[in-house]
Amino acid sequence: MMLARSFVPHAFLRRSGLWSGLGLGLGACLGLGLGLVPSCSLDPNLRHCSLLEGDETCAALYPSGVLPFCSAGCQTSPHGNGCVADRPEDACYSPCGQGLTAVELAQCPQGSSSAGSSGGSTGETGATSSSTAQADDTASDTGIPGCRVDADCEPTMPSCVDGQCVPCTLAPDPDLVCAQLDPMRPLCADDRCVACTEDDASACEDPTPVCDLVEGTCVACTRHEQCPQSACHLEMGSCLPTDRVWWVDGDAGGCAGADGSEASPYCTVAGALANVGVGETGTLWVRARAGDAAYAAGLTLTGGRVVAVRGLADERPRFSGGGVGAPITISGGAVAYLDRGRVDGSSVSEAIAVVGAVLHLDGWLVVLNPGGGVSLSNGAELHARTSVLGANGSGLIDAQALRAAASTFELRYVTVAGNDSAGVASIECMGGSAGVVHDSIVVGIDSGSIACPGLVVDHSAIDSLLAGDGVVLRESFDSGWFLAPGAGDFHLVSPHPFDDVAQWQPGDPIVDLDGEPRPQMAGAPDVAGADR
């Protein structure tokens, strides 16, 4: 494809000093008046309408009349050649070109083919103009590519309009132009072809189900909210199937005939889980019970299943201990996504046991469990975000808020506070376990509540002498920092020492425990822990 010569903007000429090198350029001609135009030495290679035939040049370039007026260079034009849609003020209007504005003209000078005249002629610049000229890549030196069909244009300006390549937004059918150019980017938005927009994300399907509005591309999910019907399979970046979703409501009644739909929910979590076979996937929406009653039967997940258990945005279903084992057990290679819930009252054992499995914990309260909070063993993984491990353990037994044996964990914006133990209270690691603590609070009833060799900590408030970027030492626990820690409520109460301790980074949670937005700016200071 032949490309037209480039137009050099007036502003660039002034900045670069080339303006004076053009002899009497446009600015100089404006000062000479009508009678001295022939003495102006204008460079025809500039190809700006104000240096050629003004409106007549624009009429030749745009026969449809979309850009009929010639600006004298002091008004931005879509294609950089001076042609604009609305008539400029006289001081900035060059209807006849040749370096003159409308301020100096009663009519166009003799010999110029002014707007509205017929036929072609040669003006003082020596450039020939014709209203019937073909606006293609050989007849128009406008500073933008000429064309005959869309295929002549480049992806950044994919549509051929009046012989000129223009952005998709100026095409008669913007989306059609993009779809023909690249079926993977069939939508036109902000002068570019994109895969998706806020109004149309239909192209975004698994394994990239989410529209990145900045880039206009389909990307993997990173939060459950991005999969509103099911949940995000964070291990894969895709949404869990929407045809494998069941509802649970312990107060619904009519359990015998329940089918798991929202209108006819199961009464127990176990009833819903019966639909998920070994190696299968599913999503359970669990409603909170009236009067904060608990699902006493708990939750047991094993056999390589991938299951999300979610509470509604304004609810946090409660699970409670009282049996022999942990109220929540994840084992046998299962992957569990627990989103919004609470577990308490486990006195015989820890509240959550993860054995050779993976647990993603988001927006959970693991509180008031004398037997301990979370235990990891046999290669287990824990990814906890925006959650609370608080007031667990007892000074009479050796129990921890988090205990890891030959396992790994990551805490991000987590509050680990007010835990007690006859030994280490907050975090204990053994068997080569490895952990990372970001933007969190780890403060036990007694100081020095962390025993985890090699623990990586950054931008967190902790009660143990551990090195790390942005680590703040808080050796003593103060119940006044929290709303009602004795009742398991670890919302922060001002004044507290956790402001500006955290540092938000891309990939961090975007809201706190109650849905309050985080800064969402790389490096921005933030409140440590689950609440802000």
**Last residue in a domain, options 146, 162, 191:** 146
Q: What is the mean pLDDT of residues 125-132?
A: 33
**Can you give the pLDDT at residue 199?**
92
Judged against a pLDDT cut of 80, whether residue 467 lies above it is answered with yes
Q: What is the mean pLDDT of residues 378-400?
A: 97
Judged against a pLDDT cut of 60, whether residue 42 lies above it is answered with no
**Can you give the pLDDT at residue 46?**
57
**Can you give the pLDDT at residue 294?**
96
486, 390, 487, 375: which is closest to 444 by C-alpha?
390
432: left (phi over 0), alpha (psi -120 to 50) or beta: left
Q: Are residues 418 and 298 in the same domain?
A: yes
372 phi, psi to nearest 5 deg? 115, 165
Q: How many domains does the chain have?
A: 2
- What CA–CA distance (Å, rounded) separates 239 from 228? 9
Q: 342 is in which domain, residue-wise?
A: 227-526
Q: What is the mean pLDDT of residues 398-412?
A: 97
Task: Note whether residue 177 is domain-resident.
Answer: no
178 phi, psi to nearest 5 deg? -70, -40
**Can you give the pLDDT at residue 121?**
34
Task: Note whether residue 4 is domain-resident.
Answer: no
Q: What is the mean pLDDT of residues 117-138?
A: 35
Q: Are residues 324 and 424 in the same domain?
A: yes
Task: Note whether residue 32 is domain-resident.
Answer: yes
313, 302, 368, 369: which is closest to 341 by C-alpha?
313
Q: Are residues 120 and 232 in the same domain?
A: no
**Can you give the pLDDT at residue 116?**
37
Q: Are residues 419 and 318 in the same domain?
A: yes
Task: Note whether residue 365 is domain-resident.
Answer: yes
Task: Note whether residue 38 is domain-resident.
Answer: yes
**pLDDT band at residue 53 using 50, 70 and 90 as cut-offs:** confident
Q: Are residues 331 and 466 in the same domain?
A: yes
The owner of tokens 């504005």 is 101
Share of the chain above pLDDT 90, in %: 67
Task: Note whether residue 95 is domain-resident.
Answer: yes
Q: Are residues 118 and 254 in the same domain?
A: no
Q: Are residues 141 and 240 in the same domain?
A: no
Least-confidence region, from 148-157, 376-385, 446-455: 148-157
**pLDDT band at residue 178 using 50, 70 and 90 as cut-offs:** very high
**Last residue in a domain, options 94, 124, 146:** 146
**Can you give the pLDDT at residue 21?**
32
Task: Note whether residue 60 is domain-resident.
Answer: yes
Q: Are residues 132 and 255 in the same domain?
A: no
Q: What is the pTM of this model?
A: 0.71
Task: Note whether residue 155 is domain-resident.
Answer: no
Share of the chain above pLDDT 70, in %: 84
Q: Are residues 131 and 276 in the same domain?
A: no
Q: Are residues 339 and 473 in the same domain?
A: yes
Give CA torsion, residues 55, 60, 62, 67, to 10 deg. Answer: -10
User: Taking a C-beta distance cutoff of 8 angstroms, is the pair 498, 461 a contact?
Assistant: yes
**Last residue in a domain, options 91, 122, 146:** 146
Q: What is the mean pLDDT of the chain?
A: 85
At 63-111, the pLDDT tens digits run 778 889 999 878 888 877 888 999 999 989 999 988 888 887 777 765 4
At 300-359, the pLDDT tens digits run 999 999 999 999 998 999 999 877 789 999 999 999 999 999 999 999 899 999 999 999
Judged against a pLDDT cut of 60, whether residue 367 lies above it is answered with yes
